Structure 1
Amino acid sequence: MLVRFLMLALLVSLAAAFAMPDTQQARALCSTLLAMAVLAIAVFASSSAIACLVRRLSPFLLVILVVPAIYMALQLAPIPIQGSGNPIWATASAALNVSLAERLTVDTGATVRAFLHYGTAVALALIATVVALDKQRAWQLLTMLVSGAAIVSAYVLMRRTIGADGLSPGDTPVLVVTGAAPAVLGLVLSVAMTARAFEERRRVKQVSIQLATTLSFALLATLLCLSAVLARGDGTGIAIAALLGVGIVLAAFVIQNWFYGIWGMASVLATAAILHLAAFTVLPVRQNADLAIALSTHHVAATERMLQDTGQAGSGAGTYVALLPIHRDIGATLSQERPTAAAAIAIEMGHAFLYGLLIVAVLSAAALLSCSLRRRRDYVYAAIGSGAAAALAMLTLVEDGVLEFGASLLAAAVFGLAIAQSQRDTATATLPSRSTREPDRPGPTCAPTRTFAIGNASMRIGLGSVAVVLIAQTIWLFAKPSYPRGLPVEALAASQAARQAFLRPPSSSLRGDGDLRPGRLAPAQQPTANEAAASKPEIGADPDAPDVARALQRSPLRGDLWLMLAALSKERRSAEYDVPTLLKLSYYTAPNDLALLPLRLTVALGELSVASDPELRELVQRDVKIALTKQSSLRPALVAAYQSASADGRGLVDDLIAEWDSAALQSTRKRVPPPGTDVPSPNGTRGSGLAR
């Protein structure tokens, strides 16, 4: 009964990770289900199964699993030493008039979500390890993983065949996948299954219906995954990653069947190494670039600037999207920047962590290959882990798909399968001298002994702790909801109804974690003209600004929220916050976000201090220049802001327009309505404006 529940939890989690939108709710569902499964293992698993798990999880492996979690916890922990954390916390503390503890991370919510992501992957890997301790269940798990990877690859091929937008315009993707990791992992898995089926055919000397079905299924999955890899237009990096993973599996297959022995192994491995080195010579490499983006073929201008500004400790796990608005080009969207996973890790965790991760991946691939060569019939499982580690390390330097939720869970299941079958449960293991060998003889199963008594109890406590941490993080995320990114903040200048729509967005509008990968940012719901004109703005009717301030206390790099707080404070004439300071923070945290420009100009030009504050005056001049010379589509927004501006604000715009475009100045002045009349808002509706 326990095994069935664990298999069901694995299947549902993987299906949900690929089939559901990558939202906070989807991740919470997966983490809760896996937490229950891990807790069931800790309570109901037999002592022999726990003893086997203790043998598989060596101290070195446990350290590898624990170190990232500890490092993310340190990034979240308050730093008592003044000036040791990120400077944004001191700046936000002064602007919000509250005492905020300094931290290494620049966004506590994003780091907690990254911690939950990592904990979910570790939990799934532990469950897969327990399930695959038995050889028959390991084969069932391998079949399930190959089936899932083949389905994902077939879906990717279908989308590329009929077009990236799906079967019809406006349809949402059925499966959430943008990277090549599922196809590459599926290719490694299916090749290993094909090798295993081929060996079984040689051993039994006859072809049964079951064997023929298995071999046909493995070949079909191999064809689908290989086609998905070759169909990508991302250059040769992904193909070389697939070749690296498959090459390791094939090398183990050749050694086990024809070239067993020290000289045979040396010749096969040397040949494979030469072929892989020859393949690496055709990789396009950026000259004088950081290792994290040297192999990228995408637009990474903002990422390159972020890497140059990154400190040794990183900016916090999951905070890449929070930093991107500061460094991206004018008018660039989140989806235009395609960093590599290595670049994101280096920015969030530091370069030292990235280099350590790559070293661990190489050492893990070598260790699993060594375990594979010590096995007999079941060597393919450890070879799968070795090939997957090498392929994912290469993919990390090429694209960002490794960090996707579904891809990371699939990789966790693959490594759990490899670790579970990396060694036999026998007292001694002998290596035969013949190339064709008999299958593994059934040895004694892991039995609880006094030696493992303490280890078994510690393992159960550890599994229970993992489950508790996952549940606690899920509760924390739902107890502290965050404002989604990408909301139409410019609609605040239109009307009270638009402001309410912004402050209380529908749950289905956008992702809460602000994922940057293409196709993952759904468009926010825009208020219609009728809704915008439904009500007039009234002083004191706005939602409480402290709600926005509390969100900024967790995410101080949200330029849209700084602007939102400035707009609400100005309209309500609140003395709690300094509007010019809030405006400056909006400029500094999102300097090139054109979606914020209309409202930002409206609020800034309505401020009496805009002419007397040289810093704010320079920032406003930059926005006006962008609207006049670089983005002609923003001229109506500039006109609307000019019409609702103060006398000093209008004088500032007059001076700037007179320098660049005198005809535009005359046109702008002619459109100023008489006092007491409604002025048009940026979206074409009429209202009193935000600044009066």
Structure 2
Amino acid sequence: MLVRFLMLALLVSVAAAFAMPDMPQARALCSALLAIAVLATAAFASSSAIARLVQRLRLFLLVVLVVPAIYMTIQLAPIPIHGSGNPIWATASAALNVPLAERLTVDIGATVRAFLHYGTAVALALIATVVALDKQRAWQLLTMLVSVAAIVSAYLLVRQTIGADSLSPGDGPALVVTGAGPAVLGLVLSAAMTARAFEERRRVKQLSFRLTTTLSFALLATLLCLSAILARGDGTGTVIAALLGVGIIIAAFAIQNWFYGVWGMASVLATAAILFLAAVTLLPVRQNTDLAIALSAHDLAATERMLQDTGRAGFGAGTYVALLPIHRDIGAPSSRERPTAAAAIAIEMGRPFLYGVLIIAVLGAAALLRCSLRRRRDYVYAAIGSGAAAALAMLALVEDGILEFGASLFAAAMFGLAVAQSQRDTGAAASPSRSTRPVGEPDGPGPTSAPTHRYGIGNASMRIGLGSIAVVLIAQTVWLLAQPSYPGGLPVEALAANQAARQALLRVPLPNSLRGDGDLRSGRLAPAPQSTANGAAASRPEIEVDPAVPTVLARALQYSPLRGDLWLMLAALSREQRPVEYDVAALLKLSYYTAPNDLALLPLRLTVALGEVSVVSEPELRELVQRDVKIALARHPSFRPALIAAYQSASAGGKGLVDDLISEWDSAALQSMRKEIRVPSPGADLPPPNRVPGRGTAR
């Protein structure tokens, strides 16, 4: 009964990770299910099952699982030594006038979410290991994983066929999959199922209906996964990763059936290595670039800049998205930047951590292959883990799909299956209380001592460990449900939910090319009619703003100080309310630093900057404002109405700043600009606000 519940929880978690949108509620569902499953395992699993689990989880494997969690905790922990953390914390502390502890991470919320992501994957791997301890359950788990991979691959294939990648997230299909990881791992699983079916065919010497069904299903899954990989067209890197994983399965099958002995193993492995190296030579490698992005087929200009700025400790797990607005080009949407998983890990965790992960992947693949070759039957399960580790290490250098929630849980289930069937069960492990005599593997070199009290200690320690993991999962479920955006912070989208309140706050025209879903980030502002926006800019209607909103914004920035939209919104509200604790110029400067190229912020930023008297007196901030003005004048004409509205509400110093900048242009360009945006000559009065949308103004 317990194993059936564990399999159901595992299946629902993996399916939910793929089928539900990548949102806190979906992750909370997976975390809650796995918390119940882990707690049930700790409380109701038999002593023999716990002893076998202890036998599989050796000390080295436990260390490998714990180290990432410890490192993320170190990134989150306050650093008592001044100057040892990221400089953004000291800058944010000065701007907010509150003491902020320095940390390695630049976004506490993002790192906490990454920690929860990792904890969920580890919990699912442990559940898969417990389920797959039984051979029959292991086969059922393998069938289930192949089914999931076939469904996801079919979805990817259909998506490529109908061109759904060009659709918006709201218009696209239900599943959330952007990488080829599930298809590659599914190809490894289907190859292992095919190999095991051929093994069964040789053993029974007849083709039964069940065997025929298994072979047909495995071949269909292979066809779907391979078609999904080839249809993506991401280059040869993904194909080589798939061939590497499948090649390990084929090598194990060949050694077990035809090439016995040391020389047979050496010949097969040497042939596989030569073929792999020959395939690697076909990869297009970028010259004079970082190794983490050298094999990527995408343009990664912003990622390359991040890698150049990354230190040894990284910027914090999960902070790639928070760093992207600082490094991307002007107006470039974040969706165009598809870093490799290796680049994301190097940026977030540091290059030493990345190199350690790659080394562990290679060593793990070799260890699981060795376990596979030591078994005469059921060797395909350990070979699955070896092939998956090798394929994922290759995919990490090609794309970022393996870091997605669904793909990571799917890979965790595969590794749990491989570890569970990586070795035989000894008699003492299966029933530790029956004998205290030395026991050993049938094919092992000699007996090993396994006294009963050692299994008792390991049994109790494992139950305590599983209970601790369940507590962590419950805590993270509560956190995900209680704080979907920021711990102690604010879902900023709620501030912009009301169109009238948002326009009163912005008081600037918005370019029609920008779409809206309630955020101030690039491409996420709803356009308003030009005449309505200009009228709002002129009449400046007073709409009540909750006095607590600046405090909530400041609290959110204490957890995520790289949110340029939050700094700008706080600056705009501070300019309206003039609180004593905030300096508008300092807040505005941080908005420029954390989102310098986000065009969606340009209208509001021009309005706040040109209306603030202290901007003219600060040379650095003056240069930043001049840059925005040049962008609105020359590079993006759709923002010229926003510049007009900001000019009309600007202070005397702000108007002079715009006049001085326009006067630097040549006379022909100056006359053209004045005719188009109708900027008056110095000393002339501005036309009435209701005449702004008239002749010569971009609509």
Q: TM-score, normalised by structure 2?
A: 0.89
2:626 counterpart residue number = 621
Residue 652 of structure 2 aligns with an amino acid whose one-letter code is A
1:271-670 to 2 correspondences below 5 Å: 271-426=271-426, 427-430=439-442, 449-482=452-485, 495-498=500-503, 524=524, 526=526, 537-538=541-542, 541-542=545-546, 544-660=549-665, 661-663=669-671, 664-665=673-674, 667-669=677-679
Distance in 2 (CA, whole Å) between partners of 1:488 and 1:473 is 23
Residue 668 of structure 1 aligns with an amino acid whose one-letter code is R
Distance in 2 (CA, whole Å) between partners of 1:240 and 1:448 is 47
Change (3 A) 1:658 1:536: closer
Q: Secondary structure at the match of 1:13?
A: helix
Percent of aligned pairs with the same amino acid? 77
Q: Secondary structure at the match of 1:99?
A: coil
1:431-490 CA deviation, whole Å, 9 max, x = no partner?
A: 59xxxxxxxxxxxxxx99322111111111111111111221232344444369998899
1:245-292 CA deviation, whole Å, 9 max, x = no partner?
A: 000000000000111111111111111111111111111111121111
Q: Secondary structure at the match of 1:611?
A: helix
1:689 counterpart residue number = none
1:65-464 to 2 correspondences below 5 Å: 65-165=65-165, 171-426=171-426, 427-430=439-442, 449-464=452-467
Most deviating of 549-558 and 657-666:
657-666
Change (3 A) 1:485 1:539: closer
1:646-675 CA deviation, whole Å, 9 max, x = no partner?
A: 111111101111222422235433697556
2:433 counterpart residue number = none
Distance in 2 (CA, whole Å) between partners of 1:465 and 1:675 is 68
2:510 counterpart residue number = none
Q: Secondary structure at the match of 1:295?
A: coil
1:172-191 CA deviation, whole Å, 9 max, x = no partner?
A: 32211010100000000000
Runs of at least 5 residues in structure 2 that lack an aligned partner in the other structure:
427-438, 445-449, 508-515
Distance in 1 (CA, whole Å) between partners of 2:633 and 2:491 is 24
Distance in 2 (CA, whole Å) between partners of 1:556 and 1:680 is 38
Note if contact 2:247-2:272 (Cα within 8 Å) is conserved in structure 1: yes
Distance in 1 (CA, whole Å) between partners of 2:247 and 2:77 is 43
Change (3 A) 1:470 1:168: closer
1:218-249 CA deviation, whole Å, 9 max, x = no partner?
A: 01001111111111211100000001000000
Distance in 1 (CA, whole Å) between partners of 2:685 and 2:326 is 34
Most deviating of 668-677 and 109-118:
668-677
Note if contact 1:19-1:174 (Cα within 8 Å) is conserved in structure 2: yes
Residue 320 of structure 1 aligns with an amino acid whose one-letter code is Y
Distance in 2 (CA, whole Å) between partners of 1:160 and 1:249 is 28
Q: Secondary structure at the match of 2:292?
A: helix
What is the total number of aligned residue pairs between the two structures?
A: 658
1:503-531 CA deviation, whole Å, 9 max, x = no partner?
A: xxxxx95899x9xxxxxx9x757376599
1:442 counterpart residue number = none
Note if contact 2:106-2:560 (Cα within 8 Å) is conserved in structure 1: yes
Runs of at least 5 residues in structure 1 that lack an aligned partner in the other structure:
433-446, 503-507, 515-520, 687-692
Q: How far did 1:69 drift?
A: 0.2
Change (3 A) 1:431 1:52: closer
Q: Secondary structure at the match of 2:100?
A: coil
Q: Secondary structure at the match of 1:554?
A: coil
2:429 counterpart residue number = none
Change (3 A) 1:525 1:631: closer
Note if contact 2:504-2:542 (Cα within 8 Å) is conserved in structure 1: no
Distance in 2 (CA, whole Å) between partners of 1:267 and 1:389 is 22
Distance in 2 (CA, whole Å) between partners of 1:531 and 1:626 is 23
Distance in 1 (CA, whole Å) between partners of 2:572 and 2:340 is 37
Change (3 A) 1:166 1:618: closer
Change (3 A) 1:169 1:593: closer
Q: Secondary structure at the match of 1:669?
A: coil
Change (3 A) 1:466 1:620: same
Distance in 1 (CA, whole Å) between partners of 2:465 and 2:52 is 15
Distance in 1 (CA, whole Å) between partners of 2:93 and 2:641 is 36
Note if contact 2:123-2:469 (Cα within 8 Å) is conserved in structure 1: yes
Change (3 A) 1:645 1:377: same
2:56 counterpart residue number = 56
Note if contact 1:17-1:27 (Cα within 8 Å) is conserved in structure 2: yes
Distance in 2 (CA, whole Å) between partners of 1:585 and 1:431 is 66
Residue 464 of structure 2 aligns with an amino acid whose one-letter code is I
Note if contact 2:361-2:390 (Cα within 8 Å) is conserved in structure 1: yes
1:354-394 CA deviation, whole Å, 9 max, x = no partner?
A: 00000000000000000000111200000000000000000
**Pairwise CA RMSD:** 3.1
Q: How far did 1:500 drift?
A: 8.3
Note if contact 1:658-1:665 (Cα within 8 Å) is conserved in structure 2: no
Change (3 A) 1:675 1:150: same
1:505 counterpart residue number = none
Change (3 A) 1:600 1:497: closer
Q: Secondary structure at the match of 1:22?
A: coil
1:301-350 CA deviation, whole Å, 9 max, x = no partner?
A: 11111111101111100001111111111111111111100000000000
Note if contact 2:195-2:253 (Cα within 8 Å) is conserved in structure 1: yes
1:444 counterpart residue number = none
Q: How far did 1:27 drift?
A: 1.1
Q: How far did 1:573 drift?
A: 2.3
Distance in 2 (CA, whole Å) between partners of 1:675 and 1:536 is 14
Q: How far did 1:640 drift?
A: 1.4
Q: How far did 1:53 drift?
A: 0.4
Most deviating of 390-399 and 671-680:
671-680
Change (3 A) 1:274 1:485: farther
1:55-77 CA deviation, whole Å, 9 max, x = no partner?
A: 00000000000000000000000
Q: TM-score, normalised by structure 1?
A: 0.89
Distance in 1 (CA, whole Å) between partners of 2:163 and 2:99 is 52
